[in-house]
A and B are shown apart, each in its own frame.
Chain A
C-alpha cells in the first residue's frame, strides 16, 4: 500500500467529516436539509456547482480520452462547458424563481397534479441512480488501483461516507464538500498543467509539434476522427452533452441553495469560469499523459485510460504527486456522489412522501426524518447495484443519465417556462417518451450489444447504430410534449401561465 496516498485519503476523510460535524448543527429543518436554507452566496454556489459537476468522469475520463484519442476526447470538454450557456440563458433563473426544493417543484409550480410530480420525481431518481452507479463502480476500481483495497471494500467506504455526509449534514455538508473538492481539483490540475507546460518550455506550438510524433497515432492524434468516425454519432454525442446538463437534477437543485435569481445567475457565471478553466487544462493532462506516460502504459493500467492523470502525476512528481492526485480524485468522487444521494433522497422525501403521500402536510421533523431514511435507502440501493455492476462496462450509464436528462427533463422544463399552451398531457407525454426512448435506445445500442465478446454487456449486433441516443430521443421528447399538448382536449390554463410568467421573470412570490 502506498503510505503517502493512504495518509492523504485519510486527510480528505477527516476534513470532510469535520465539515459534516459543523453542518449537522445547522441542519435542523427541511429547508436547511434540502437547500442549506437558500443561504449560499454566488461564489460559494458557483464553486459547489463546479464541484458537483466535475466528476471522476471529467477528471480521469477526459484526461484518458484526450491521451488516447487526441482531439476526439476533447469533444467532451467542449460540450460539458458550452452546456452552461443553456443553463444560464434558459434555465437557471426560472428554476430558482419557480422551485423550492426539487426539480419536480418547478414543474408543479405550473401543473399542480400528483402524477406530474410523481413522474418528475421518478426521472430524478432514475437519473441520479444511473449516474451514481457509474461513479461508484469507477470509485471502486480507482481505490483498488491506488490503495490496493478490494473492490467491495472500496465501494463500501465511499458509500458509507456519502451517506454520512448527507444524513447528518444535508445540503450544508454536501455543498462544502463540493467546494473543498473544487479547490483541490483546480489546484491539483493547475499544478500538473504547469509542470507539463514547463516540460514543453511554455510553448504551445512546441507542445503541438511534439504531440504530432509522440503517440502511435502520429498526426491523426491532433485531428478529429480517431474515435468518432460517423458524423451522426458525433452529433448525437454533442447533443447529449450540450443539452443534458440543463436537465440534470443534481445540478438543478443547486439553484435552490441561493436566495434569488440574481444570485443563481452569478453562481452560474462563477461556475462557468471555473469549469471552463478546468476543461482547458484537460488538454495539458491528456497531452502530458500521452507524451510522458505513453499509450502502452496508460492502457496497461486501465483499458479506458482512466489512470492517465494519476500516472502522469507519478511520472512528473513521483510518489507524492501521485498520492496527491489520487486523493484529489477520491475527493472528486465523494463530492459528486454526495450531491447525487441528496438529490435522489429529496425526490423521495419531498415529492413522494411529503407532497404526494401527506399532501404537503408533513411536519418539519417528519420531513427531515424521512429525508434521512430516504438517503440511507438510496445509498444502500446504489451500493448493492454497484457491487453487482463491478465487472460491467458502465461507461454507458453516464451517457444514459445525460440522455434521459436531455430527452425527458429538458423538454418539460423549457415548455413549462416558455410555452403558454403547454398542458399536463403534454408534460406527461414528454417525460414518458423522453425516458422510454432514451433508456430503450441505450439498451439496444453498441454500449450494450457488441459483436465482440467483452466489449459490451451482451454479445450481438446492436439494433441502434449510435453510442448515444440523443439524436433520436431528444427530438422525440420535444415532439411528444408538443403532440400531447395539441392532441389533448384540455384547454390551456392561461391564468396559471400568467402566474408562472410573472414569477419566472420577477421573482414575485419567492420565499413567501
Chain B
C-alpha cells in the first residue's frame, strides 16, 4: 500500500499530533461550528414534512395564491446555499490550523 511508504510518520507521530495544542484547537473549532449547524439544518429540513403532515398552518396564504408551504420550501434552498457559503468561509480558518499542524510536524520530528 502506498500510504504505508510514508517517509517518516509512524504511530507515535500520530499520537503526538493528536495531542498537540494546534490539532486540539482545530478539532474543537470544527466541532463548535459543525455540530450545532448540522443539528440546525436537520431540524429546519424535517420541520417542513412534519408541519405539512400534521398541521395545516403552512396552507395559509402568504401573498395571493402562494401559501407558506412554498415559502418554507424556498427557504430550504436559501438555507442550503447560505450554509454552503458559511461553511466555505469558516473552513478557511480550519485550513489555516490544518496547515499549521502539518508545519509543526515538519519542525518537531
Contact = CB atoms under 8 A, between A and B. Distances in A.
Q: Do A and B bind each other?
A: yes
B98 A505 contact: yes
A204 B5 CA distance: 60
A272 B73 CA distance: 16
Interface string B67-109: 1011001101101110111011001001100100110010000
A364 interface: no
B84 A222 contact: no
A495 B81 CA distance: 38
Contacts of B80: 81-82, 84-85, 272, 276
B2 A272 contact: no
Contacts of A280: 74, 77
A269 interface: yes
A265 B91 contact: yes
Size category, A interface: 35 or more
Contacts of B17: 498, 502, 506, 508
A506 to B, nearest CB: 4
Interface in A474-512: 495, 498-499, 501-502, 505-509, 512
Nearest to B51: A224
A509 B41 CA distance: 32
A211 interface: yes
A75 B88 contact: no
A279 interface: yes
Nearest to A109: B3
A505 B27 contact: yes
Contacts of A506: 17, 23, 26, 98, 101-102
Contact of B14 (A209, A499, A512): A499
A88 B84 contact: yes
A265 B88 contact: yes
Contact of B87 (A89, A223, A231, A276): A89
A272 B81 CA distance: 7
Given A78-B76, A508-B105, A502 B67 contact: no
A222 B70 CA distance: 8
A25 B34 CA distance: 42
B49 A75 contact: yes
A330 B22 CA distance: 51
A205 B65 contact: yes
Given A90-B38, A498-B14, A204 B66 contact: yes
A242 B45 contact: yes
Interface string A67-111: 000010011001101101110111000000000100000000100
Interface residues of B, number: 57
A238 interface: yes
Given A82-B45, A89-B38, A506-B102, A272 B59 contact: no
Contacts, number: 158
A499 B11 contact: yes
A212 interface: yes
A223 B58 CA distance: 8
Interface string A201-244: 00011001101100000000011110010110011011000100
A262 interface: yes
B46 A74 contact: no
A56 B8 CA distance: 49
A208 B77 contact: no
A435 to B, nearest CB: 24
Contact of B63 (A205, A273, A498): A205
A505 B27 CA distance: 8
Interface string B11-25: 100110110000100
User: A78, A204, A225, A509: which has the most chain B beta carbons within 10 Å?
Assistant: A78
A51 B90 CA distance: 27
A242 B80 CA distance: 12
A242 B42 CA distance: 9
Nearest to A273: B81
A181 B79 CA distance: 27
Nearest to A223: B59
B83 A71 contact: no
A262 B95 contact: yes
User: B5, B15, B30, B53: which has the most chain A beta carbons within 10 Å?
Assistant: B53
A402 to B, nearest CB: 15
A279 B78 CA distance: 12
A231 B102 contact: no
B1 A502 contact: no
B1 A360 contact: yes
Given A85-B84, A269-B84, 10 more contacts: A78-B48, A78-B76, A81-B77, A89-B37, A100-B2, A109-B3, A205-B63, A208-B70, A279-B77, A512-B5
Interface of A: 71, 74-75, 78-79, 81-82, 84-86, 88-90, 100, 109, 204-205, 208-209, 211-212, 222-225, 228, 230-231, 234-235, 237-238, 242, 262, 265-266, 268-269, 272-273, 276, 279-280, 360, 495, 498-499, 501-502, 505-509, 512
Interface of B: 1-3, 5-7, 9, 11, 14-15, 17-18, 23, 26-27, 30, 34, 37-38, 41-42, 45-46, 48-50, 52-54, 58-59, 63-67, 69-70, 73-74, 76-77, 79-81, 83-85, 87-88, 91, 94-95, 98, 101-102, 105
Closest 5 CB pairs of A and B: A231-B53, A224-B52, A208-B65, A205-B64, A506-B98
